[in-house]
Amino acid sequence: MEDVKGRTAFITGGARGIGLGIGRAFARAGMKLAIADIDPDSLAAAKSELAKLTAVETFNLDVRDREAYARVADEAEARLGPVSILCNNAGVAAATRLTYEFWDWMLGINLNGVINGIQTFLPRMLERGGGGHIVNTASGAGLAAEGSGLMYNTSKFAVVGMSESLRRDLEPKQIGVTVLCPGPVGTNIVGNSRITQPAARNAEEAKTWEAITEQVTAVLARGVAPDKVGEMVLAAVKENRLYVHTDRVMEKYIKARTKALLDALPPAK
């Protein structure tokens, strides 16, 4: 999709971090923006900034809420026109314990949030025609299990597989699909995740989580800037690329996983 100027993009988790970086890049490219996020203060700040560059509307949205999603989609298209670029970017990352409550939380946002975005907007894109593009934010942790945590890896592997399959299915419809697989990016995703995260069981667990949050946030702060990631995503949309890597952090893990998969194949006949 080389010509993006004047098109409307819908970005979840769009008021902070990578989502805001994508919004800035898209705004500079002349797109209209519908920014959805769960944090009202960040939404207000994002609108104040981005409105200087383009038409922008903001929406408070929990991507797990399908009825709210449909309502927000209607409002966004009524104000800005048909959405032809969808960025399923909202996500969480945090220390977890192995409980149904945490599985539901992690998968509800990282996986079902992506499904809800696709199920809300894709039928509209197909019905209207005229092409489009879907960007799903996964992670390098969706390409190899390198230690980001069982639940996080599970959710991101699913988004990668979904994106690969969706791209194949949508190619004849002139709708592109990109899966963003970032390494460390300078965001506060772990701290932000605690807004919706299930509560700690006791003071000791809360203290442990706080320490993990500080450690991971410090690592992420040394990563790629969100605005640079936004420019990568814009280029991928224009060039219709499937994968976006923000660095080479995952290289050795991807190579090791690929080798293990190939080595496990039965001998050639």
Strands 83-88 and 56-60: unpaired
Nearest to 170 by CA among 114, 125, 136: 125
Contact 89, 19 (CB under 8 A): yes
Distance CA 228, CA 153 (A): 24
CA 126, 127, 130, 132 torsion-angle sign = negative
- Indicate which residue of 69, 152, 243, 253 is catalytic: 152
Total residue count of the chain as it appears in this document? 269
Distance CA 221, CA 78 (A): 38
> Is 243 designated active site?
no
Name, in order, each residue with C-beta under 8 angstroms of 82's C-beta and a sequence gap of 6 or more.
8, 124, 128
Cβ-defined contacts of 248-257 (< 8 Å, 24+): 248/183, 249/140, 249/183, 249/184, 250/140, 250/143, 250/144, 250/146, 250/181, 250/183, 253/140, 253/143, 253/144, 253/145, 253/146, 254/143, 254/144, 256/144, 257/143, 257/144, 257/145
**What tokens appear for 1 in the block?**
């999709």
Name the residues annotated as catalytic. 152
